[in-house]
Structure 1
Amino acid sequence: MTLRTRFALAFAAIGAVVALLVGALSYRAASDRVVAEIDRTLRSATVALAHAEERGGQPLVSEVIAQVPELYPGPDRPGPGDEPERRMVLQTVAVDGTVTRLGGPGVPLPVSDTGRTLAASGRAGDTDIAEVVVAGRTYRRLTTALGGNRGALQVAVRIDETRRVLGGMAREIAGVSLVAMLVAACAGVLLAGRITLRLVRLAEAAEEVSADGRAVPGHVDLTGGRDEVGRLSTSFGRMLGRIAAARDAQERLVHDAAHELRTPLTSLRTNATVLRRVAELSPQARDRLLDDVEGETGELAHLVEELVELALAGGQEEAEEAVELAAVARRVARRVYRRSGRLVHVDADDTVVRGRPQGLERALGNLLENAAKFDPDGDDPIEVRIRRGAVTVSDRGPGIDAAALPRVFDRFYRADTARALPGSGLGLAIVRDVAEAHGGTVTAGPRPGGGARIGFTVAGSRLLPGAEWQGDR
C-alpha cells in the first residue's frame, strides 16, 4: 500500500469518525430537546389537573388545557379546526387501581404496576414516565402520585409523528455524514497527492542516483514549501548539488593528475630504456642520466604527496578546535627557515578561529614555501600579516602577471615564469580548498614596490575570543 493510499484512507477514516460523532451528538441533542419539551408539557398539564382537583369537583379538560403551555411547534401540532385537548389523554388512577378518564381521545391507557404502586402508596410528586403502545399508536405517559390516598394522575400525548420526524432527522444526518465522509475521502486523495508529490520526486531522484551513481541537480524539481517536506526537498536538492560538485571535482582531479603524472612517467620510461645500455654510456652521461632519474623520481613523489594533500584538504575527518593563527604562523616560519634559510617576519594579532589545525598549517606552509621559491635570494624577509582571520603573505619576487591572477589557484596551473622552477602547481589549489573548507576566500595581487601578496580568509562566524583560546591551552 502506497503512502498516498494510506493518507487518503486516514483522511477518510477521520472524516467518517468526525461526521458520525457530530451526527450522533446532533441527533441526541435534538431528540433530548424534543422529549424534554414533551415532558415539560405533560408536567404542566399534570400541575393544572392537580390544582383543579384541589378546588374540588370534576375538572374541565378545556380549563386544564388552557393553563398548559402550547406544545412545541411540530408535526404533532393540531391542524386547523382540531381541538387542543385532543392531543392529550387525561385520567386518574384510584388507590385500588380504578381508572377514571377525564378527557381527551378515548384511548384506554394501560396502567402499569409502577402506576398502581404510585396511586396506592406513592408520595405526592413521585412520577413515572413511560412510552406505551395503544392500538398501534405510541403515547408518552406521565404518572404522578397525589399522595394522601388520593391516587395518581396520568397524562399522555401521542408521539408517533414526533418519532417519524426524529427518524427522518436521523436518516438525514446519516446521509450528511456519508456525504461528509465521501468529501473527506476526496479531499484526502487530493491532499495526499499534494503531500506525497514531493516525496515521490525525492524517491525518484534517490532511485535515479542509486541506479547510475550520478547526481543531476535540477533534473527533478525538489524545491518549494516551508513545511517539513519542503525543507527535506530543499536539503535533498542541496545534497544532490554537493554530490554532483564533489563528483565533478573528483573527475577533474583524476583527469588533471593523470595529465601531470604522464610527463614524469614518460621521462622515467625513456630513462629506463636508456639504462638498458648503461654499459655503453660514458661516466658523464651515466651521471646525467642518474641525476635525471633521481630528479624525476623526486618530482613524482612530491606530486603524489601534494595530490594526497589536495584530496584531504577539504575533508571532514580532522576534528575542529580552537586554533591560534599567530602560533601556527610562527611554527611554519621556523620550518621554512630551516629548509630554505629565508627569514619570515610574522605580524599577527591574537586571532583565534574554530578550524582544522593541520589544514590551516598546510595552507600557511604552502604560501610561505611558494614565496620562498619565487624569492630565494631576497634580502628582505617574507612577511606574514594576520588580522581578524585574514592571512596575507608578501614577498619581493617577480610578482604575478595580471593575466595569470584569475588562475593562480587552479589545480596544476603554472605561469610561464614558474615552469623552470620545481613544483606541481597544486600548492595554491590546496590553499584555496582549505580556505573554502573554513568558509573563507583566497586573494592574490601585486605588492607595492614589487613582489606579490597572496593569502586567504576564514569566515567571520569562526572567529573566537582570545580568552577561549587561553582557556583551551
Structure 2
Amino acid sequence: MSLRSRFALIFGVIIIVAAAIIGALSYRAASQRLSQEIDRSLSTVTVALAGFEGDPATVIDRPTQLAGPDPGLCRPQPDCARDVHVVAQRLAPDGTVTALVGLPLALPASGAARSLAASGTPGQVLTSAVVVDGSTYRQRITVLPGGRGVLQVAVPVDYTRQVLDGMALQFTLICAAVLLVAAGAGWLVARRLTRRLVRLTAIAEQVSAGGQVDRSVPVDGRDEVARLAVSFNTMLGRLATAREAQERLVQDAAHELRTPLTSLRTNAAVLRRIGELSPASRDRLIDDVQGETRELSRLIDELIEFALDTHRDEPEQPLDLAALAERAAERARRRTGRQVRVDADDSRVLGREPGLLRAVGNLLENAAKFDPDGSAPIEVSVRGGEVTVADRGPGIAAADLDRVFDRFYRADTARGLRGSGLGLAIVRDVAAAHGGIVFARPRPGGGTEAGFTVAPARLLPEPDHC
C-alpha cells in the first residue's frame, strides 16, 4: 500500500470512528431522554388517577391527600389523559381487574403484578415493557395504600421505537456519507502532502538507477519535506563534487604516474645492456632508478591519503602550535640538513595533530626544495593560529600564486624538481578541515611566504601559568 493510500485510509478511519462515537452517544442520549419523558408521563397519569398531589411513592407519608369517595380509585378529571394514549386499570388483591381510562385494552396481570397487588408495599413501583395485541407498551405498576391492589398504567412505545430506529438509520447513512467524504478528503490531503515526497522518491530512484547526481529537487515551503529536499539537494551537490574530484584525481594521477613509469621503463631497457655500460654510467642508472622508485612510492602514498581522506577521521584535541611547529622543524632539519628557525606565540588550537603536523612539514619540505642554496635559514612563524613558512628562494611568479595549492600543479620553474605536486594540496585540505585557508605571497627582500590558518573558533585560551 502506498503512503498516499495509507494516509487516506488513516484519515478516513479517524473521521468515521469519531462520527460513529458521536452518533452512538447522540442515539443513547435521545433514547434515554425519550424513556425519561415516557416515565414522567406515566408518573403524571398515575398521580392523576390515584388522586395524588405528588408522586405515588409518597402516599405513605401523605395519605390525607387522597380525594374522592373511593380513595385510591378517584376518577381523574375528564381530560386528564386526553392527549395521551393511555391504558389504565386497577388490579385488586383477589385478581379482579377494573378498567379505568384510555384505550379499550386489558393489560396482562402478570405474576409480578399479582404479587405486588397481594403483598406489595404501598407506593412501591415496578416499570416494565409488555406486549398487547402485537403492540409494545411501557407499563408502570404502583402499589396502592390500604390493601387496595395496584394501579397499572401503560402507554404505547412503538412510535418511539420507530423514531429511534429512524434515528439509527439516519446516523448510519450519515456515517457512510462521512466515510466517503472523509476518504476523498483524506486522499486529496494525502496527495498534497505526499506529492513532494513522490517527486523526491522519483529523483532518488533516477539517481540510484543511472548514477546521475547532477540533479536537484524543487524546494517548496518551509516544512519538514522542504528541509528534506534541501538536505537531499545538499547531498547530491556533495556527491557531484566528490565524483568530480574523484575523476579529476584519477586523471591527474594517471598523468603524473606516466612520468616515473616511463623513466623506469626506459631504465629497465637500458639495464639489458648493463654489461656494455661504464661503471660511472651504471652508478648513474642505478641512482636514477632508485630516485624514480622513491618518487613513485611518495606519489602513491599521497594518492592513498587523498583517496581515503584519512586525516578527517583523526580525533581532535587541544594542541600547542609552537610545540607542533618545533617538531616539524626538527624533522625537516634531519631530512634536509637545513637550518630552520621557529618563532611562535602561545597559540593553542583544537585540531587533529597528524594532519597539522603533516601540513607544517609539507610547507617546510616545499621551502627547502625551492631554496636549494641553503645559505639562509627557513623561518617558521606562528601567530594567533596562523602558521607561516618563509624562505629566500627565487620566489613564485604572480601568475602561479593562486594555483600552487592545486593538486599536481607545478610552475614552469618546478618542472625539473622532484615531488608529486600533492604536498601543498594536502596543506590546503588540512586547513579546510580546520576551518582555515591557505596563502602564498612574495616575501619582502626575496623569497616566498606560504602558510595556512585555522578558524578563530578553534583557538583556545592561553593556559594559566599562575
TM-score above 0.5, yes or no: yes
Unpaired segments ≥5 residues, structure 2: 53-64
CA distance in 1, matches of 2:273, 2:457: 63
Shift of 1:298: 2.8
2:283 corresponds to 1:268: no
CA gap 1:158/1:463 in 2 versus in 1, 3 angstroms: farther
2:90–2:98 contact (8 Å) kept in structure 1: yes
Equivalent in the alignment of 2:80: 65
Shift of 1:148: 4.1
Shift of 1:424: 1.8
2:360 corresponds to 1:348: no
Provide Cα deviations, 1:382-403, integer angstroms capped at 9, x if missing partner. 122141x443334444443332
Equivalent in the alignment of 2:376: 379
CA distance in 1, matches of 2:104, 2:12: 53
Unpaired segments ≥5 residues, structure 1: 67-82
Equivalent in the alignment of 1:170: 168
**Percent of aligned pairs with the same residue?**
57
What letter matches 2:349 in structure 1? V
1:61–1:102 contact (8 Å) kept in structure 2: no
1:3–1:196 contact (8 Å) kept in structure 2: yes
1:456-471 matched pairs, under 5 angstroms: 456-464=452-460
2:440–2:449 contact (8 Å) kept in structure 1: yes
Question: How many pairs does the alignment contain?
Answer: 448
Tell me the SS of whatever aligns to 1:403: helix
Provide Cα deviations, 1:188-222, integer angstroms capped at 9, x if missing partner. 3334434544554454445444444x251525557
Tell me the SS of whatever aligns to 1:440: coil
Tell me whether 11-20 or 177-186 shows the greater mean CA deviation: 11-20
Equivalent in the alignment of 1:75: none
2:321–2:382 contact (8 Å) kept in structure 1: no
Provide Cα deviations, 1:281-315, integer angstroms capped at 9, x if missing partner. 44554444444333333322222222223234455
Tell me whether 55-64 or 146-155 shows the greater mean CA deviation: 55-64
CA gap 1:253/1:48 in 2 versus in 1, 3 angstroms: same
What letter matches 1:344 in structure 2? R
2:116–2:143 contact (8 Å) kept in structure 1: yes
Equivalent in the alignment of 2:128: 130
Tell me the SS of whatever aligns to 1:379: coil
Provide Cα deviations, 1:340-370, integer angstroms capped at 9, x if missing partner. 32223131324130x3321221112112222
1:223–1:234 contact (8 Å) kept in structure 2: no
Shift of 1:263: 1.6
1:13-412 matched pairs, under 5 angstroms: 13-52=13-52, 54-57=66-69, 59-62=74-77, 65=80, 83-84=82-83, 86-212=84-210, 214-221=211-218, 226-227=223-224, 231-313=227-309, 316-340=312-336, 341-353=338-350, 355-376=351-372, 377=374, 379-387=376-384, 389-412=385-408
Tell me the SS of whatever aligns to 1:423: coil
CA distance in 1, matches of 2:458, 2:118: 97
CA gap 1:29/1:220 in 2 versus in 1, 3 angstroms: same
Equivalent in the alignment of 2:58: none
1:326–1:386 contact (8 Å) kept in structure 2: no
Provide Cα deviations, 1:17-36, integer angstroms capped at 9, x if missing partner. 33222222221112112222
Provide Cα deviations, 1:86-112, integer angstroms capped at 9, x if missing partner. 433333332233332332222322233
2:378–2:389 contact (8 Å) kept in structure 1: no
Shift of 1:180: 1.5
CA distance in 2, matches of 1:240, 1:463: 33
1:313–1:430 contact (8 Å) kept in structure 2: no
CA gap 1:186/1:378 in 2 versus in 1, 3 angstroms: farther
What letter matches 1:42 in structure 2? L
1:371–1:382 contact (8 Å) kept in structure 2: no
CA distance in 2, matches of 1:304, 1:362: 16
CA gap 1:446/1:184 in 2 versus in 1, 3 angstroms: farther
2:346–2:462 contact (8 Å) kept in structure 1: no
1:391–1:457 contact (8 Å) kept in structure 2: yes
2:51–2:76 contact (8 Å) kept in structure 1: no
1:372–1:382 contact (8 Å) kept in structure 2: no
Shift of 1:117: 2.5
Tell me the SS of whatever aligns to 1:65: coil
What letter matches 2:355 in structure 1? G
CA gap 1:103/1:390 in 2 versus in 1, 3 angstroms: farther
Tell me the SS of whatever aligns to 2:106: coil
Provide Cα deviations, 1:116-145, integer angstroms capped at 9, x if missing partner. 223322223322222223233332222222
Shift of 1:256: 0.3
What letter matches 1:5 in structure 2? S
Shift of 1:266: 1.6
CA distance in 2, matches of 1:395, 1:124: 123
CA distance in 1, matches of 2:421, 2:179: 71
What letter matches 1:135 in structure 2? D
What letter matches 1:166 in structure 2? L
Tell me the SS of whatever aligns to 2:90: strand
What letter matches 2:178 in structure 1? A
Shift of 1:253: 0.8
CA distance in 2, matches of 1:105, 1:444: 116
TM-score by length of 2: 0.84
1:132–1:141 contact (8 Å) kept in structure 2: yes
Q: Which runs of 4+ in 1 moved over 6 A?
A: none
1:91–1:102 contact (8 Å) kept in structure 2: yes
Equivalent in the alignment of 1:70: none
CA distance in 2, matches of 1:419, 1:460: 37
1:27–1:169 contact (8 Å) kept in structure 2: yes
CA distance in 1, matches of 2:386, 2:195: 46
